[in-house]
Structure 1
Amino acid sequence: MPTSEYQGSSVPLSFLGRSILSFRRNQIISMEGTQEQELEELELFQKHVADRFTGLLSSRPSSDGIDNILSIAWLRKLLDTFLCCEAEFKAVLIHGHNPQIAKPPLNRLISEFLDRDVKALDICNAISNGVESIRQWQKSAEIAIFALGQKPLGEGQVRRAKKALNSLVASITSEDKESNGNTSTERAWSFGRRSGALIKERSSGHLRSLSPSVSRNWSASKQIQAMSGNLVAPRGGGESSGLASPVYVMSNVLVFVLWALVAAIPCQERGSLATHLPVPRQLAWAGPVIGLQERIAEEWKKKEKKGSAGLLEEIQRLERCGQSLIELADSFQFPPEAKWVAEMEVQVAELSENCRKIEEGLVPLQRQVREVFHRITKSRTEVLDILDQAGKPSTPVL
């Protein structure tokens, strides 16, 4: 090639060669540094998950039930834990609009994860319905408390209280029977069916707002089963490293949190809810999660009938106090004896304290469920945006 072709350049070829080699060396160093940073972020994420669930596991039974596992206060801590894990997971997954999530084998794992998100939205709807049921039970209890607090106490007040308490207990029992009823195996989405693959749904912001109702064919236990059915730990090769690991961890966190909520809050058809979820014991974060599963399973087995209307501590107290006060009301004679009045006041005080805890905790709990719903929806939309961008042909650089 004639040397005259290079006369337009004042930079020697040897210098250009050294510059290219230097650039490539710096690029490799930069890539190695980025990879190390990503590995550190992945390790930190799993450590933080383990630490947060260890804190939940450390909650021990107390005399007033404030920190008892499956109390309203404990469930609020559980949802806080989920929201913290979800925020950190999203930062790891889509940091810098990560294009890896659109490439195999990660794209398949992402597809399954987004499908779990859709199922999770249904469970949030069901939990919201269950919270409304608890609110109605609280109102029945408060009617009885008001009636039994009248002075002087007469037969009319006792009859009114007994009627409210019978309504309370019957409603909880009815919820129990409906929970154990047979349902269709057909999957029903609470926010309506979609044509085509759900993973490719698009929307402007949210899939749907939190719905006040779910289909009659819907089953909470089957929904949890569907979410955990294909939950398999990453194998060797490309799946054992990189982003596959945090996707698997967050999938387990999502399934466990919703499983615990379904166990605690009245939900449609939850009698066949499994007492254990498939979590490999060898993973560092799995220890506290398995420990929590075992404690919840123990609470489940303690009940005389599986599929009771929620294992929530406050629900169990509502039913227990209601039954006890009904029995006490049956023995009422006018004028009441001092011993009867003293016993009634003790039981009413316990019921009143339980209603106070429900009143203080139920609204924040429902707000957190709503936040989980919208957080899942928003994150899902962001991941779909990245998948869309990765699927578009890139513009050639001139």
Structure 2
Amino acid sequence: MPATDYQGSFLGRISIRRNQVMSMEGNHEQELEDLELFQKHVADRFAELAPPSPSQPSDDIPSDPILSIAWIRKLLDVFLCCDAEFKAILIMGRDPSQISKPPLDRLIPEMLDRDVKALDICNAITNGIEAVRHYQKLAEIAVSALEQRPFGDGQVKRARKALTSLITAMACEDKDGANYTRTWSFGRRGAAAAGNNKSTGQLRSLSWSVSKNWSAAKQIHAMSANLVAPRGAEASGLALPVYIMSTILLFVMWTMVATIPCQERSGLATHFPVPKQLVWAQSIIGLHEKIAEEWKKKEKKGSAGLLEEMQKLDKLGQSLIEFTDSFQFPAEDERAEEVSAHLAELGETCRRMEEGLVPLQVQIREVFHRIVRSRAEFLDVLDLNGKSSALAM
């Protein structure tokens, strides 16, 4: 079932069930059923993102390679759907006092703090996509130059210059944070301001420059620091969906940091604090292990980022530089055919980047706004409960 179908049927079911405020004690079985269904949807959605096994029928193999632009867009769609269902479970038609009781009185503030860190990462990734678009333009210059026939010294020199700039820029992506001009919408003061502006329903610009010491890797580490799976009775209560959604948020942000250039990624943790026996988390853990293995290779070799299209630019760019360095007019037929094949693949990669990068950037902004709205909704509920408690006193 498509993710949107999952979401529509699930939200409709909860909406009908909670047409009036209900107490947890009077609807325990229904709550358990909703939690089980939410876990099933999470498991199914992430299973669809997993790469095919060797034994999987060819008809079932997804067309979008893992860590490609199209795959990341599917990942963000999954996040948005899961977030909508999560809020339905936690706050739709629910007595506000229920999310102010232990352990939620601790878990919800931790989750809201995690949200603020995720907002900074979304901004970092949005700016990182600008760097990827720059790589795309350099590759396009090389393609345009070498597509002209017959090859001449002028075209080859132009292509070599663009390709050298491309490879150098990608090799330096993690080493020179000054290459990125960062503007941030949230920080410590910004988090408070977001709470003050939550009633407007609009995202107000709260921007200033961030310190050059800001680190995406440290931000991810901070998001995972207090993420602990609920145990005992808490494992079947409302603490569970909070943990699940926090895990999804952490995985999505970690994946984007590992895939798209952003400030200071060196030392990015590859440990994922999720018990392997959790059924709903199996696909997430499998994806994390695969991406973490690729990240370890990247850090060891110092190669280009994990974005599938960037890896293509790196590989093809290196091959074409070898051709330009050894070029002699007229080019040998066999060599010219090899270059033509590489150019066609490079041109196709640029086309996919042209079609996908701007929509991806828009989608990351949508995730940013969704996190802001979801955070504001929880703050509203907490404020309402605080006022009700004050009146009762």
- Is TM-score (shorter-chain normalized) higher than 0.5? yes
Q: Choose from 312, 334, 357 the match for 2:307.
A: 312
Q: Secondary structure at the match of 2:196?
A: coil
Q: Aligned in 2, Cα 1:353/1:31: closer, same or farther, shift over 3 Å? A: closer
Indicate if the aligned counterparts of 2:128 and 2:262 stay in contact, CA closer than 8 A: yes
Return the alpha-carbon distance in structure 2 between the equivalents of residues 317 and 212 of structure 1: 35
Structure 1 residues 47 and 346, CA, compared in 2 at 3 Å: closer, same or farther?
Answer: same
CA distance in 2, matches of 1:357, 1:210: 33
* Cα distance in 1, alignment partners of residues 358 and 191 from structure 2: 35
* SS of 2:274 mapped into structure 1: coil
Q: 2:327 aligns with which of 332, 338, 356?
A: 332
Verify the 8 A CA contact 1:65 1:313 in the aligned structure 2.
Answer: no
Give the corresponding residue for 1:297: 292
Does residue 216 of the first structure (1) align with residue 209 of the second (2)?
no
Cα distance, 1:281 vs structure 2 = 1.5
Counterpart selection for 1:144 from 142, 145, 151:
142
Matches within 5 A, 1:187-198: 190-191=184-185, 193-195=187-189, 198=192
The residue that corresponds to 2:74 in the other structure is 77
Contact 2:116–2:191 at 8 Å: present in 1 too?
no
2:266 counterpart SS class: coil
Aligned to 1:15: none
Please report the TM-score for the alignment, with normalisation by the length of structure 2: 0.84
The answer to whether the 8 Å contact 1:60/1:69 transfers is: no
Residue deviations 1:23-75 (CA, integer Å, cap 9, x gap): xxxxxx9976533222211111111111111111244699x995221111211
Identity %: 65
Instruction: Tell me if the contact between 2:167 and 2:314 (Cα under 8 Å) persists in the aligned partners.
Output: yes
Match of 2:225? 229
Q: State the SS of the aligned residue for 2:102.
A: coil
Distance, in Å, in 2 between the alignment partners of 1:325 and 1:140 is 13
Tell me the distance in 2 between the aligned counterparts of 1:144 and 1:319.
13
* Alignment match, 1:53: 46
Alpha carbons of 1:49 and 1:107: their partners in 2 closer, same or farther (altered >3 Å)? same
1:119 is the counterpart of 2:135: no
2: CA distance, partners of 1:65 / 1:39? 33
Distance 1:201 1:30 in 2: 27
Question: Contact conserved, 2:24 with 2:31, CA < 8 A, in 1?
Answer: no
Q: 1:300 to 1:30 in 2, by over 3 A?
A: closer
**Residues 282 and 60 (structure 1 numbering): CA distance in 2 closer, same or farther, change over 3 Å?**
closer
The CA distance in 1 between the partners of 2:259 and 2:385, in whole Å, is 41
> Aligned equivalents of 2:225 and 2:190: distance in 1?
21
AA paired with 1:87? A
Distance 1:391 1:129, change over 3 A: same
Residue 313 to residue 262, structure 1, CA distance change in 2 (3 Å): same
Deviations 1:289-325 (A, max 9, x none): 1111111122223337366542111111101111111
| Unaligned stretches of 5+ residues in structure 2 | 1-21
Q: How does 1:251-266 map to 2 (within 5 A)?
A: 251-266=246-261
The secondary structure found in structure 1 opposite 2:48 is helix
Cα 1:309–1:126, aligned 2, differ >3 Å: closer, same or farther?
A: farther
What is the count of residue pairs matched by the alignment?
360
Whether the 8 Å CA contact 1:53–1:288 is kept in 2: the answer is yes
Structure 2 residue corresponding to 1:287, chosen from 282, 296, 306: 282
Cα deviation, residue 193, structure 1: 4.1
Counterpart Cα distance in 1 of 2:194 and 2:352? 42
Query: Larger Rg: 1 or 2?
Result: 1
Question: Per the alignment, do residues 257 and 329 of structure 1 end up closer, same or farther by CA in structure 2, a change over 3 Å counting?
Answer: same
Instruction: Report what 1:89 is aligned to.
Output: 86
| Contact 2:184–2:206 under 8 Å retained in 1 | no
Matching of residues 375-394 of structure 1 within 5 Å: 375-393=370-388
Q: Which one-letter code corresponds to 1:50 in the other structure?
A: A
Cα RMSD after superposing both structures: 2.9
- Structure 2 counterpart of 1:14: none
Cα deviations by residue, 1:107-148 (Å, 9 ceiling, x for unpaired): 110000000000000010111111111100000000111111
User: What SS does the corresponding residue of 1:285 show, helix, strand or coil?
Assistant: helix
Is 1:265–1:310's contact at 8 Å kept on the other side of the alignment?
A: yes
